[in-house]
């Protein structure tokens, strides 16, 4: 086929679809920074970024609502179908996950303030640093994959989520050992536990975003499926071809 189908007959429709995508990316960028700063606040012992994170959380919430409103308008005005419909639905779902990542970053910031400068001498520092770096990469990986319609990139993020989950379990075992050995450490250990939990949840949300990439590109709804199932369904043999 020599015809070019990249553009809609309606130029405004192109503009609207482009807008939700780019607004989602901007929101993703902000959320990614929030997470990175939160991890920094915990691991460096410098709690000064925490206030900024808490303040900017409102921006994240506002962006979610605004983008969702744009998605609703597209549904109402254009009744999108096929890949356009999947794009609008996916953006609407992704901003929800981004908003929740923002919530988790805020939780980490609160804990950072609570434990103050003592955190850097606390437990599981290695795990926090490692998992924190990992989930930051996952968020940017998932958003990149979305922007480039890259199914393999998305699957890679899901693979990393498994590693984060393993790290999380190992860190929990470590914390339990500390608590058993010295019950006076329980208070601080619980704070660390909440932080680890928040980071682990961020990984889950990045995974959800990646699942939406697969939905947009291939049409397969791979939520709640295993990595193997996901790989099979993301690359069906009978993929749409000319």
Partner 1 sequence: MPIIKDHKTDGLPFSDSPKLKARNVNVFYGEKQAIYDVSLDIGANEVIALIGPSGCGKSTFLRCLNRMNDTIEICRVDGQILLDDDDIYGSKVDVVPLRARVGMVFQKPNPFPKSIFDNVAYGPRIHGLVEHRDELHEIVENSLKRAGLWNEVKDRLHAPGTGLSGGQQQRLCIARTIAVDPEVILMDEPCSALDPIATAKIEELIDELRENYTIAIVTHSMQQAARVSQRTAYFHMGQLIEVNPTDLVFTTPQHSLTEAYITGRFG
Instruction: List, in order, residues 6 or more apart from 44 with CB less than 8 Å away.
Output: 120
Q: Closest approach of Cβ 235 to partner 1, in Å?
A: 14
Question: Out of 9, 184, 224, 237, which residue is the one contacting partner 1 (CB under 8 A)?
Answer: 9
Which spans in the chain are helix H? 11-44, 48-78, 82-115, 125-148, 151-181, 186-218, 227-234
Q: Closest approach of Cβ 13 to partner 1, in Å?
A: 7
Question: Out of 76, 81, 121, 224, which residue is the one contacting partner 1 (CB under 8 A)?
Answer: 81
Question: Out of 28, 49, 80, 153, which residue is the one contacting partner 1 (CB under 8 A)?
Answer: 80
Q: Closest approach of Cβ 188 to partner 1, in Å?
A: 50
Could you tell me which of 120, 125, 206 has the C-alpha nearest to residue 165? 206
Q: Closest approach of Cβ 224 to partner 1, in Å?
A: 18
Interface pattern 26-65 for partner 1 (x via CB under 8 A) = ----------------------------------------
Q: What does the angle CA 32 – CA 35 – CA 39 come to, to the nearest 5 degrees?
A: 140
SS3 117: helix
Question: Out of 76, 82, 173, 228, which residue is the one contacting partner 1 (CB under 8 A)?
Answer: 82
Count residues binding partner 1 (CB under 8 A).
24
Say which residue the tokens 């961020």 belong to.
202
CA distance 99 to 179: 33
**Binding of partner 1 by 242 (CB under 8 A):** yes
**Binding of partner 1 by 78 (CB under 8 A):** yes
Nearer to partner 1, 121 or 238 (CB): 238
Interface pattern 193-232 for partner 1 (x via CB under 8 A) = -------------------------xx-------------
Instruction: List, in order, residues 6 or more apart from 73 with CB less than 8 Å away.
Output: 16
Say which residue the tokens 């955190």 belong to.
119
Instruction: List, in order, residues 6 or more apart from 149 with CB less than 8 Å away.
Output: 213, 216, 217
Q: Closest approach of Cβ 218 to partner 1, in Å?
A: 8
**Binding segment toward partner 1, per CB under 8 A, in 19-27, 78-86, 150-158, 200-208:** 78-86
Question: Out of 44, 83, 120, 140, which residue is the one contacting partner 1 (CB under 8 A)?
Answer: 83
| Residue 145 · residue 213 · CB < 8 Å | yes
CA distance 64 to 98: 8
Nearer to partner 1, 86 or 107 (CB): 86
């Amino acid at each position: 086929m020599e015809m070019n189908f990249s553009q809609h007959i309606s130029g405004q429709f192109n503009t609207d679809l482009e807008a939700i995508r780019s607004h989602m990316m901007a929101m993703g960028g902000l959320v990614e920074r929030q997470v990175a700063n939160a991890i920094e606040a915990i691991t460096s012992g410098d709690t000064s970024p925490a206030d900024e994170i808490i303040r900017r959380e409102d921006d994240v919430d506002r962006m979610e609502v605004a983008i969702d409103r744009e998605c609703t308008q597209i549904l109402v005005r254009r009744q999108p179908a096929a890949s356009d419909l999947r794009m609008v639905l996916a953006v609407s779902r992704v901003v929800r996950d981004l908003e929740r990542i923002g919530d988790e970053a805020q939780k980490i910031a609160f804990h950072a303030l609570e434990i103050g400068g003592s955190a850097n001498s606390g437990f599981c520092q290695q795990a926090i640093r490692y998992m924190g770096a990992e989930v930051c990469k996952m968020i940017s990986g998932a958003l990149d994959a979305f922007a480039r319609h890259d199914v393999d990139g998305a699957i890679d993020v899901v693979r990393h989520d498994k590693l984060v989950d393993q790290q999380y379990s190992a860190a929990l075992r470590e914390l339990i050992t500390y608590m058993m050995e010295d019950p006076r450490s329980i208070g601080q250990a619980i704070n660390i536990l909440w932080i680890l939990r928040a980071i682990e949840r961020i990984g889950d949300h990045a995974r959800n975003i990646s699942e939406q990439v697969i939905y947009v590109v291939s049409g397969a709804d791979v939520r709640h499926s295993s990595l193997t199932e996901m790989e099979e369904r993301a690359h069906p043999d009978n993929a749409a071809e000319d």
